[in-house]
């Protein structure tokens, strides 16, 4: 790149946008100027990529979430200009790290589902695959999290407060979306998705909801000020916040509007492009377009495309249905009932009456098909798409697509042979597995540069960056003490950086020589942060009884957000923060253990946590975690797993060896056998130390602020609740196994080179878990698209 021109561009943009010199600019202004300068250099390639893709078959990824995180560092890395830009900024007296920290996270996602979408977009660009993402440009991300007296407090996540230099508003491609109670504009904003070591630039198109008329002048002039902007506010509410609280009917309506809004806008956009190139030959639509439904949020696309093809384009029902099934495919991300969306018929009927009519017809025809196949009335009733006044979106998705895929082998097997057994028997050829993956560019090359450099040196080239299977060759160094020692040095440096950052952000001092035990993920009961908390308490009580107990000093680090309406999850956060307060202020245990719950866990924080971890906590109840991708990020950064035989953990230990990880707990087969007769009180009464830690919820050890949430947690474990059995996630069953696994971790960690071998075996066998591999499987086996390099 021309460094002289870059300097000129940065100074010019600051003058134009902010009316000041570079010397007076704030860090976020410098960040915006640099980002816009980089955008200027990629526009031509972006246009050429779009033109090249228009000539063949394309795929589209419909997702309610795209958890992109920060863009600058990743884009510079993928363009191959990070070092050059760093040097240019130095010459201008600017620290690139400060500029990167000035960028707000684009937190338009809740967890793994949204981050997976982001990894897929980057991998598709890197592999020159014609994939476009469609979603919502939320004005605010999920939420910013803080802790007040240990309680989670949410506030708005205003990620756009300083602007967004990485997106372009495309007014000319605005789409009108119609609900029963009015119409809104869907205005697209395009973000470039820059692949690694390629000129191809893919596109993420996010829609912002706006009113047809911004402002009613007559009402305003009549001094009806609120009414004058009422329509504007109602429209903008649709794209205001990711996952608005849906505990009331108004909240549910808003969520349904969000889903239909981006789906309808996206489909109309795709159809507009199709018409431009292929005219009205809609029977050929699936030949040129593949659409992936990322979970059930966009499943309303099935009846919406039927509506467009039959009502607007005049296709016969059978022809339209053939197009729909061959165009769409569906990714199932969970077996949890609460996440398999069901919508009340009344809401659909009220808000989307024509869509509801089409779903009724789909259901009716499907039932007739089952009758012809001689299915019993009971079986037909159990498989109905509309059942007891609810629309079952997962069933609609399976019926209305040509492929349903799970996201890890165990998860797919559970879908095929347990949860969706009837559907698999009906459509045996429609089910596939696509084990998730992560992009090695962000999660190793960018976040762990010293390790990346070592890998390149050891392998003699950088081919691993786009072919992660190359890491397998690192196994030749498994007995090389200099390599093992270098791995330990790199881990130590990453831990020191994290310790410094945690001190700055959380005000807590942690010992970088301690074992960093990290659990970072969405807060949900099945992910069992509570089991981790009980384990910490058990260790604490043992240390109180025997202060001279010989353990490796350990720092337990949590990062998680609980959904604002998820009361029990928020109680678990408060409980862990109470444990932290107790442990961290007890001088008697001599800093042998520390507990840190980081505030506002997000992608940019994760980038510092993954490289610094010594042990990765992946302790979900077996059969509940569909895949996980955090487990893959830890593995790639040389961190062994302590975990259950669940999700992608199964494949991780198959690849890296169970001897290089720490597996514990009941497996799916055992849980299936005991789930109907399971009595957690047997464990509560007999497992040493268990009753003591569980009862801290009710014996006054900790304070829940008088809201009764700790008592409710205690009851949920021993008595159950109206919607679930006691200890629904088998925490008490797995407690003893977990403690024993942690003893094995402590013992193994003392052998430093032995631990380095485990780390190296995990790195060497992480190749399978690249999102490049996953996206290529989607391209070949589901979408039937080919790379198109400009």
Does residue 333 carry a catalytic annotation?
yes
**CA angle at residue 522 from 521 to 523, to 5 degrees?**
115
pTM (predicted TM-score): 0.97
Q: Classify each residue of 737-757 as buried b or exposed e, where b means 16 or more C-beta atoms within 10 Å of its C-beta.
A: ebbebbeebbebbeeeeebbb
Strands 342-344 and 386-387: unpaired
Query: Distance between CA 111 and CA 651 in Å, rounded?
Result: 21
- The structure tokens listed for 670 are 């055992």
- Digit-coded pLDDT (tens) for 231-283: 888 999 999 999 888 888 999 999 999 999 999 999 999 999 999 999 999 99
Walk me through the domains of the chain, giving residue ranges and CATH numbers: 1-53+71-104 (no CATH), 54-70+105-436+776-783 (3.40.50.2000), 442-769 (3.40.50.2000)
Q: Which of 96, 74, 34 is nearest to 446 (CA)?
A: 74
Active-site entry in 521, 624, 757, 773: 521
* Residue spans of beta strands (DSSP E) within 476-614: 515-520, 554-559, 593-597
Residue 402 is a catalytic residue = no
CB 626, CB 647: distance < 8 Å = yes
Is-catalytic flag, 248?
no
Q: Active site includes 36?
A: no
Give alpha helix (H) positions in 172-296: 217-221, 225-228, 230-237, 249-278, 285-288
Answer yes or no: is pLDDT of 335 > 90. no
pLDDT at position 215 over 80: no
Tens digits of residue pLDDT in 340-362: 799 999 999 999 999 999 999 99
DSSP tag of 597: E
Q: Distance between CA 452 and CA 82 in Å, rounded?
A: 14
Q: Taking all residues of the chain, what is their mean pLDDT, rounded to a whole number? A: 96
Cα→Cα distances 190→49, 79, 184, 425, Å = 14, 19, 19, 41
Is 522 assigned a catalytic role?
yes
Closest to 745 in 3D by CA, of 595, 589, 641: 641
Residue 228 has pLDDT above 70, yes or no: no
Catalytic residue among 334, 435, 629, 639: 629
Interior CA angle at 84 toward 83 and 90, to 5°? 90
3-state secondary structure of 641: strand
Q: Count CB-CB contacts under 10 A for residue 395.
A: 24
Quick check: 338 pLDDT over 90? no
Q: How far apart are CA 633 and CA 638, in angstroms?
A: 9
Check pLDDT > 80 for residue 219. Answer: no
Residue closest to 636 by CA, chosen among 546, 516, 771, 524: 771
Q: Which of 522, 528, 624, 758 is catalytic?
A: 522
**492 annotated active-site:** no
Q: Going by C-beta distance under 8 Å and a sequence separation of 6 or more, which residues neighbour residue 717?
A: 680, 684, 694, 726, 727, 731, 732
Element spanning 107, H or E: strand 106-108
Active-site choice (333, 399, 594, 733): 333
DSSP 471: G
The Cα 577–Cα 593 span in angstroms is: 14
Q: What share of the chain is helix, strand, coil (3-state, %, to 5)?
A: 55, 15, 30
- Catalytic residue, chosen from 127, 527, 554, 773, is 527
| pLDDT tens, position by position, 366-409 | 999 999 999 999 999 999 999 999 999 999 999 999 999 999 99
The tens digit of pLDDT for each residue in 728-770 reads 999 999 999 999 999 999 999 999 999 999 999 999 999 999 9
What is the band of 214 on the pLDDT scale with cuts at 50, 70, 90? confident
Between CA 28 and CA 37 the distance in angstroms is 14
3-state secondary structure 176-206: EEEECCEEEEEEEEEEEEECCCCCCEEEEEE
């Amino acid at each position: 790149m021309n460094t002289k021109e870059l300097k000129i561009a940065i100074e010019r943009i600051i003058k134009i946008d902010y009316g000041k010199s570079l010397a007076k600019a704030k860090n976020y202004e410098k960040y915006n100027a640099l980002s816009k300068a980089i955008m200027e250099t990629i526009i031509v390639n972006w246009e050429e990529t779009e033109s090249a893709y228009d000539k063949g078959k394309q795929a589209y990824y419909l997702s309610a979430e795209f958890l992109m995180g920060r863009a600058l560092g990743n884009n510079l890395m993928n363009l191959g200009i990070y070092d050059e830009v760093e040097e240019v900024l130095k010459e201008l007296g600017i620290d690139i790290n400060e500029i990167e920290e000035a960028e707000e996270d684009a937190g338009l996602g809740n967890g793994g589902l949204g981050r997976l979408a982001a990894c897929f977009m980057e991998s598709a660009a890197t592999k020159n695959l014609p994939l476009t993402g469609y979603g919502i440009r939320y004005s605010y991300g999920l939420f910013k999290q803080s802790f007040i007296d240990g309680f989670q407090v949410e506030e708005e996540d205003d990620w756009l407060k300083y602007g967004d230099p990485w997106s372009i508003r495309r007014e000319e491609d605005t789409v009108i979306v119609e609900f029963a109670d009015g119409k809104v504009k869907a205005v697209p904003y395009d973000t470039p998705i820059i692949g690694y070591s390629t000129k191809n630039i893919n596109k993420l198109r996010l829609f912002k909801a706006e009113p047809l008329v911004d402002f009613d002048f007559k009402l305003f002039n009549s001094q009806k000020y609120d009414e004058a902007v009422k329509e504007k506010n109602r429209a903008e509410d649709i794209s205001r916040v990711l996952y608005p609280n849906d505990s009331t009917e108004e909240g549910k309506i808003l969520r349904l509007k969000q889903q239909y809004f981006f789906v309808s806008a996206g489909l109309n956009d795709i159809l507009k492009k199709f018409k431009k190139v292929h005219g009205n030959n809609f029977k050929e639509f699936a030949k040129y377009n593949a659409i992936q439904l990322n979970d059930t949020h966009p499943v309303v696309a099935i009846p919406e495309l039927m509506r467009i093809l039959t009502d607007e384009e005049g296709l016969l029902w059978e022809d339209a249905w053939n197009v729909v099934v061959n165009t769409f495919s569906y990714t199932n991300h969970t077996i949890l009932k609460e996440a398999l969306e069901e919508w009340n018929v009344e809401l659909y009927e009220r808000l989307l009456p024509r869509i509801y009519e089409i779903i009724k017809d789909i259901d009716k025809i499907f039932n007739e098909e089952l009758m012809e196949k001689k299915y019993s009335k009971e079986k037909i009733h159990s498989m109905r798409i509309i059942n007891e006044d609810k629309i079952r979106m997962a069933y609609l998705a399976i019926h209305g697509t040509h492929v349903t895929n799970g996201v890890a082998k165990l998860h797919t097997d559970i879908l095929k042979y347990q949860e969706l057994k009837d559907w698999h028997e009906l459509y045996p050829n429609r089910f596939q597995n696509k084990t998730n993956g992560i992009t090695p560019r962000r999660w190793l090359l960018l976040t762990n540069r010293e390790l990346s450099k070592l890998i390149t040196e050891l392998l003699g080239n950088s081919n691993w960056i786009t072919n992660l299977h190359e890491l397998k060759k690192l196994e030749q160094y498994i007995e090389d003490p200099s390599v093992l020692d270098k791995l330990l040095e790199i881990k130590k440096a990453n831990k020191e950086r994290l310790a410094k950052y945690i001190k700055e952000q959380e005000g807590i001092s942690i010992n970088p020589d301690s074992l960093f035990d990290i659990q970072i993920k969405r807060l949900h009961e099945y992910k069992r942060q509570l089991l981790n908390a009980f384990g910490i308490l058990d260790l604490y009580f043992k240390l109180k009884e025997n202060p001279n107990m010989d353990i490796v000093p350990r720092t337990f680090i949590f990062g998680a957000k609980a959904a604002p309406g998820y009361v029990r999850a928020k109680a678990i956060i408060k409980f862990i923060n109470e444990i932290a307060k107790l442990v961290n202020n007890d001088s008697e245990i001599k800093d042998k253990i520390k507990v840190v719950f980081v505030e506002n866990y997000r992608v940019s924080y994760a980038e510092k946590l993954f490289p610094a971890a010594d042990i990765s906590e992946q302790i979900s109840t077996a059969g509940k975690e569909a895949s996980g991708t955090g487990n893959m990020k830890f593995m790639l950064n040389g961190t062994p797993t302590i975990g259950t035989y669940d999700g992608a953990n199964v494949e991780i230990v198959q690849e890296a060896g169970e001897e290089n990880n720490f597996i514990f707990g009941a497996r799916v087969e055992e849980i299936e056998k005991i789930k109907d007769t399971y009595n957690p009180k047997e464990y509560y009464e007999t497992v040493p130390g268990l009753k003591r830690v569980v009862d801290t919820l009710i014996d006054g050890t900790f304070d829940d602020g008088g809201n009764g949430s700790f008592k409710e947690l205690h009851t949920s474990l021993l008595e159950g609740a109206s919607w679930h059995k006691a200890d629904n996630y088998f925490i008490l069953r797995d407690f003893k196994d977990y403690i024993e696994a942690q003893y094995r971790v402590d013992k193994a960690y003392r052998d430093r080179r032995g631990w380095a071998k485990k780390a190296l075996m995990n790195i060497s066998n992480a190749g399978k878990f690249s999102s490049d591999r996953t996206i290529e499987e989607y391209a070949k086996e589901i979408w039937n698209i080919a790379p198109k390099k400009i």
